[in-house]
Structure 1
Amino acid sequence: MNKLEEFPYQRILVLGLAKSGKAAAKLLHRSDKKVRVNDYKATPADPDVRELEQLGIEVVTGGHPLEVLDDIDLIVKNPGIPYHNPIVQEAESRSIPIITEIELASRLVKHDVIGITGSNGKTTTTTLIFQMLEESHCPAQIAGNIGNVATEVAQSMTPNETMVLELSSFQLLGIETFQPKVAVLLNIFEAHLDYHKTMDHYMGAKANIFKNQNEADYLVYNLEDPHVCRMVENAASTKVPFSTKQKVTHGAWCDESYVYFKKERIIAKQDIVLVGQHNLENILAAISAAKLGGATTEGIHQVLTTFSGVKHRLQFVKNIKDRSFYNDSKATNILATSKALSAFDKPTILLAGGLDRGNDFDDLAPYLTNVKAVVLFGETAPKLEKIAQSVGIETIEFVDNVKHATQKAYQLSEPNDVILLSPACASWDQYKTFEERGDMFVEAVHTLE
């Protein structure tokens, strides 16, 4: 297994356990570093804690005592821990560098990294790129925010494998030398402001994906997103735009009938299985990155004629008595739900709600044209009710959870309806993850008759 080489830090605090923290701690230990782990919620009896301690790693649980920073050269921080956390602020006051495990993983990879970020579409685009490389017989591994811990994947990679890496803004805040061969910037929309506080800070985090690139590297970016275009103006990398609205001979684009990369016709639009205008943007980004990573047109074509979506992202679940059920639980913000709604021209029953991050939902209103009813749950239900009323939706129901929302939506539905879980909110008011929320929906659909 690969180990860290020429890594200048010796005494390292892993802040936050979870999957990425555990993997980082084990990697650092194997790389002969002195490792300490600190997790607020963990207890000494937790299996992960006991496993690390059996390896000889010090683990401090139940709080964040400032003493854990003593004699520390570097912190590997769990991405979910905010920078206003007192222990993080104390570390910054002591000028201790803070990274995420993405930085560690990048130092293990011997071949190219393709990094993907944006407010929406990351998982779909990452999966498309990976499958396009696989179908083209280009060795690759997929990791990052998609669910596979990057340091775990990187330890077992061979020197000729490309890492396809989904990256959140939280992860990108903690990099030093990370330099993907191909960086993909899909879009920017107001998101995670409870963490970042300002749009400028959020955009700055996303821009880290290309900050270490040079002209030998590639930056695939959305030509139709004004935020993105402003962000990439001074990038040192070779820019490769994609556009659904105009011809770009040095990137990916489409006309009414076909999709192209530069001057090459890739596929007829009618042959693409994945639905939705927003997914066309993801497809153009994926084609660009895959081509730059060595994928063949044949491999790309094969993927686009068979790939119908990733789990929890406009995932078709089932058709029951001519009602189509779609799981879009990964839609944790307004833009994602807007794009999901735009994918359908049939009467739609929308299941929405979740964690209240303080934003309103006015931007959702123009996309509710085909919505005949809404079923609401979670903290934001009253705000969503207000928007639904403002556009004239008469059928508005409140329920306790996603299971009950699914049952209620089915009761309200008629043949030819779409029943869409697309919450427009994070899940944490009721569920540990959006996956848990989506799984409840899928399970509830399969109990219907």
Structure 2
Amino acid sequence: MKTLKNFPYAHVLVLGLAKSGTAAAQLLLDSGVKVRINDLKADIDQPAVRQLIDQGADIVTGGHPLSVLDDIEYVVKNPGIPYENPIIEEAVTRQIPIVTEIELAGFLHEGQLIAVTGSNGKTTTTTLIHEMIKADQQPVAVAGNIGHVSCEVARSTTADETMVTELSSFQLLGTETFRPSISVWLNLYEAHLDYHHTLENYHRAKAKITENQTPEDTLVYNADDEKIKSFLPEVKAQLVPFSIKERGQGAWADDEMIYFKEEPIMNKDEVVLVGEQNLQNILAAVAAVKVNGIRNESIEHVLKTFTGVPHRLQFVTEKNGRLFYNDSKATNILATSYALKSFRQPVILLAGGLDRGTSFETLVPHLKAVKAMVVFGETADRMLETAGKAGIEKTVKVDTMKEAVDQAYQFSEEEDVILLSPACASWDQYRTFEERGDMFIEAVHKLK
């Protein structure tokens, strides 16, 4: 496996372990760099942590003493650690560079790098790009916020291999020299203000995906997003737009076809993924891979067979004329409104979850096609009130996902859509949104 060559720092602090910190520490140790680890709750008896210690890592647990910065030249921090952390604030005072592990991946990967960011749709778009390149029988690896640590994946990539990586604003904020060959900027909504504090800070973090690009590189961007377009005067890369509104440039679509510039790619009716949001993701992926020279046949094959990333408007199955979709990742009103706009058929909506005090008033206009609602979790009663305001007469409150699916099926008729799109986080009843979605899928398959 590859290691860092000519790395200019001799002593590095890895702040926060988890997957990304463990991978970064392992890479640094293998590269002959002296490593100190600071993690509040690290279990030194865990095999992965014990291996780092056995290789010479110095580890400090149970607190964040400022002394962990003594003799440190570089800090690799876990993306989720805020910049108000005392260690980070002190590192800034001492003018020590602070990065996330994707900066290390940029040092390692020698081939083409495609990076994807946006407030919504990152995982689906990253997966589509990866699958399209793979279908074209080109060497490709996938990494980043999609579940595979970038600096770990980059250790085994080759110079002729494309690496596709999904990146959050947290990860991008910790970059200095990171430079994708092709960057993809999907959209820009209000998000993560508890971390970034202001919308401007959040937007600037996202814009770092193209900050180091040159005229040899490409930015694929959403031409329908005015906030993204406001950054274009600063961009040095070649610009390739995608749009569901404008025609003729970059990737676009009319009522019948998907195009790249003036070239027809495929018929829209043959695409498995549903919804306007997914169409944007598809067009972004098409633009990225066409820039990369991928054949239309490979694009078409993926779009005819790809049923979606798990828990993101994922088609589950058809039973007795009913279509079941798992959108457990819809943990806010915006995501659920996008899901509801994806269907022309009547919808039985399964919704509810953790109560964060959010008003559901803005969900009401999007419930026009909903014929029945099954609600659960802490927000169940508030969801029932929302259904009443939308004029939905068929409603029921349940305790379990099995009950929810059974009741939804009883409300349904042939050609209806039964949709799990909760508009709430899952932590009141489930450990993760994935667990919630898996329970839905299990209940659907057990339906008699």
Q: Verify: 1:4 aligned to 2:4, yes or no.
A: yes
Partner of 1:20: 20
Worse overlay, 44-53 or 106-115: 44-53
Q: Distance in 2 between matches of 1:199 and 1:400?
A: 38
Partner of 1:194: 194
**What amino acid maps onto 1:37 in structure 2?**
I
Contact map agreement 1:275 1:308 (CA 8 A) in 2: no
Cα displacement (A) at 1:171: 1.0
Partner of 1:80: 80
Partner of 2:364: 365
Worse overlay, 394-403 or 112-121: 394-403
**What amino acid maps onto 1:23 in structure 2?**
A
Q: 1:376 to 1:84 in 2, by over 3 A?
A: farther
SS in 2 for 1:56: coil
**What amino acid maps onto 1:330 in structure 2?**
K
Partner of 2:221: 221
Partner of 2:270: 271
Which structure 2 residue ranges, 5 or more long, are not aligned?
A: none
> What do you get for the CA RMSD once the two structures are aligned?
2.2
Partner of 2:294: 295
Which structure 1 residue ranges, 5 or more long, are not aligned?
A: none
Cα displacement (A) at 1:213: 1.0
Cα displacement (A) at 1:341: 1.0
What does residue range 49-68 of structure 1 map to in structure 2 within 5 Å?
49-68=49-68
**What amino acid maps onto 2:186 in structure 1?**
L
Partner of 2:443: 444
SS in 2 for 1:36: strand
Q: Verify: 1:390 aligned to 2:389, yes or no.
A: yes
Q: Distance in 1 between matches of 2:418 and 2:126?
A: 26
What does residue range 214-253 of structure 1 map to in structure 2 within 5 Å?
214-249=214-249, 251-253=250-252
Partner of 2:101: 101
Partner of 2:348: 349
Cα displacement (A) at 1:378: 4.5
SS in 2 for 1:242: strand
Cα displacement (A) at 1:384: 4.2
**What amino acid maps onto 2:57 in structure 1?**
I
Q: 1:409 to 1:73 in 2, by over 3 A?
A: farther
SS in 2 for 1:155: coil
Partner of 1:148: 148
Partner of 1:284: 283
Contact map agreement 1:36 1:59 (CA 8 A) in 2: yes
**What amino acid maps onto 1:316 in structure 2?**
F
Q: 1:22 to 1:406 in 2, by over 3 A?
A: farther
Contact map agreement 1:194 1:357 (CA 8 A) in 2: no
Q: Verify: 1:184 aligned to 2:184, yes or no.
A: yes
Q: Distance in 1 between matches of 2:149 and 2:24?
A: 9
Q: Distance in 1 between matches of 2:324 and 2:318?
A: 6
Q: Distance in 1 between matches of 2:386 and 2:348?
A: 15
Q: Distance in 1 between matches of 2:404 and 2:91?
A: 44
Determine what percentage of the aligned residue pairs are the same residue.
59
**What amino acid maps onto 2:98 in structure 1?**
I
Q: 1:358 to 1:403 in 2, by over 3 A?
A: same
SS in 2 for 1:105: helix
Q: Verify: 1:204 aligned to 2:204, yes or no.
A: yes
Partner of 1:259: 258
SS in 1 for 2:230: helix
Worse overlay, 155-164 or 290-299: 290-299
Q: Distance in 1 between matches of 2:92 and 2:376?
A: 39
Q: Distance in 2 between matches of 1:302 and 1:355?
A: 39
Q: 1:82 to 1:413 in 2, by over 3 A?
A: farther
SS in 1 for 2:348: strand
Contact map agreement 1:375 1:405 (CA 8 A) in 2: yes
Contact map agreement 1:129 1:164 (CA 8 A) in 2: yes
SS in 2 for 1:373: strand
Q: Distance in 2 between matches of 1:201 and 1:358?
A: 25
Partner of 1:417: 416
Contact map agreement 1:242 1:248 (CA 8 A) in 2: no
Q: 1:359 to 1:31 in 2, by over 3 A?
A: farther
CA shift digits 1:300-340 (9 cap, x unpaired): 12222222212111112233343322111222333322221
Q: 1:94 to 1:396 in 2, by over 3 A?
A: farther
Q: Distance in 2 between matches of 1:444 and 1:61?
A: 42
Cα displacement (A) at 1:358: 6.1
Q: 1:353 to 1:84 in 2, by over 3 A?
A: farther
TM-score, reference length from structure 1: 0.92
Cα displacement (A) at 1:237: 1.3
**What amino acid maps onto 1:373 in structure 2?**
A
Q: Distance in 1 between matches of 2:355 and 2:313?
A: 22
Q: Distance in 2 between matches of 1:11 and 1:69?
A: 10
**What amino acid maps onto 1:124 in structure 2?**
T
Partner of 2:71: 71
